[in-house]
């Protein structure tokens, strides 16, 4: 199972290295069983979760920077991308938008309104708020 998770992550486009640590946790628990550490199945599952979490928290950022050549920065990856706004978004107003499979708050920081169904470019990401302006201007 660990090898399957590792392969799935490494073959994915723009991997964020989450499945790698689940795979590493599964391999670690599997190896512990192979060297004679006999624990019940429920303890193996708990160990898998804890070991995977420890790997993820302690190693992920360093590994990502090593492999990708740049620091992990979700915010920078979003700046400049375009989102679709369902309802009209007047200058200074905010609304909810869907971006990358989740809901965000979008604030129009431009001088022009974004028409309903129109596109908006992301200028700044502040936590879960996207500061956008109309691309139709």
pLDDT in tens, 47-73: 999 999 998 888 877 776 776 665 544
Level-2 CATH architecture, domain 75-134: Beta Barrel (2.40)
Q: Which two tokens stand for residue 30?
A: 């599997």
* Domain definitions of the chain by residue range: 2-72, 75-134
**DSSP state letters, 19-87:** HHHHHHHHHHHHHHHHTT----HHHHHHHHHHHHHHHHHHHHHHHHHHHHSS---HHHHHTT-EEE-SS
Question: pLDDT below 50 — which residues of the chain?
Answer: 13, 72-74
Closest alpha carbon to 96 in 115, 109, 83, 79: 83
pTM: 0.45
């Amino acid at each position: 199972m660990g090898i399957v998770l590792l392969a799935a992550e490494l073959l994915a486009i723009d991997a964020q290295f989450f499945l790698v640590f689940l795979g590493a946790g599964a391999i670690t628990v599997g190896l512990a069983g192979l060297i004679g550490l006999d624990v019940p199945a429920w303890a193996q599952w708990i160990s898998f979760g804890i070991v995977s979490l420890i790997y993820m928290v302690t190693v992920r950022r360093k590994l990502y920077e090593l492999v990708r050549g740049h620091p992990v920065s979700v915010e920078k990856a979003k700046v400049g991308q375009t989102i679709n706004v369902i309802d009209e978004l007047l200058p200074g107003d905010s609304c909810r938008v869907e971006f990358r499979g989740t809901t965000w708050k979008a604030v129009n920081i431009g001088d022009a309104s974004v028409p309903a169904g129109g596109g908006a470019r992301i200028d700044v990401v502040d936590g879960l708020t996207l500061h956008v302006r109309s691309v139709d201007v």
